[in-house]
Amino acid sequence: MEKRDTAILIAALVIVMVMAVVVKPILTGEAPDLSLPFQATPTPTPTPVPTAIPELPDWAKEMNSPPTAATTPSPTWSGQSQSLGFVSTGSVVETPTFTHLPEVTQEKENLLPYATIQSEGGGITQSILMPFPYWELHYTVNPWDTAFSGTTSNKEAGQADFLGSEVFPSFIIEVRDASDNSLVRTIVPEGGIQAELWKKGEEYDPRPWVEKFYEGTTSRTYYFVIKPHMIRSYSLKVMVPDRYLGKF
- CB atoms under 10 Å from CB of 228, counted, come to 20
What does the pLDDT look like over 63-75, one tens digit per residue? 556 555 556 665 5
* Residues 29, 128 share a domain: no
Within a domain: residue 141?
Answer: yes
Residues 25 and 115 in one domain: no
In a domain, 4, yes or no: yes
How many domains does the chain fold into?
2
What's the pLDDT tens digit per position in 117-174? 999 989 999 999 999 999 999 999 999 886 655 555 555 655 555 555 677 899 999 9
Residues in a beta bridge with 214 = 134
pLDDT digits (tens, 9 = 90+) for 63-114: 556 555 556 665 554 555 454 443 434 444 444 544 445 555 557 889 999 9
State the sign of the Cα–Cα–Cα–Cα dihedral 96, 98, 99, 104.
Answer: negative
Cα dihedral angle (122, 128, 133, 137), rounded to 10 degrees?
Answer: -20
144, part of any domain: yes
Instruction: Confirm whether 175 is domain-assigned.
Output: yes
- Whole-number average pLDDT of the chain: 76
Q: Give the global pTM.
A: 0.53
Q: Residue 177 carries which side chain, given as an amino acid letter? A: D
130 shares a domain with 238? yes
> Closest Cα partner for 224 from 135, 112, 122?
122
Q: Is 235 domain-assigned?
A: yes
Considering the domain architecture, whether residues 145 and 234 belong to the same structural domain is answered as yes
The domain that holds 199 is classified in CATH as 2.60.120.380
Burial of 141 (0-12, 13-18, 19+ CB in 10 A): buried
- Return the higher-pLDDT residue of 232 and 54: 232
Are 240 and 127 part of one and the same domain? Answer: yes
Name the percent of the chain lying above pLDDT 70.
55
Where would I find the beta strands (DSSP E) of 82-169? 111-119, 123-124, 128-130, 134-143, 147-151, 162-166
Q: Does 29 reside within a domain?
A: yes
Which residue in 244, 245, 188, 236 sits closest to 215, CA to CA? 244
Residue 237 belongs to a domain: yes
By residue range, what is the domain housing residue 189?
111-244
pLDDT at 99: 44
Beta-ladder partners of 213: 135
pLDDT of residue 98: 45
59 pLDDT exceeds 50? yes
In a domain, 98, yes or no: no
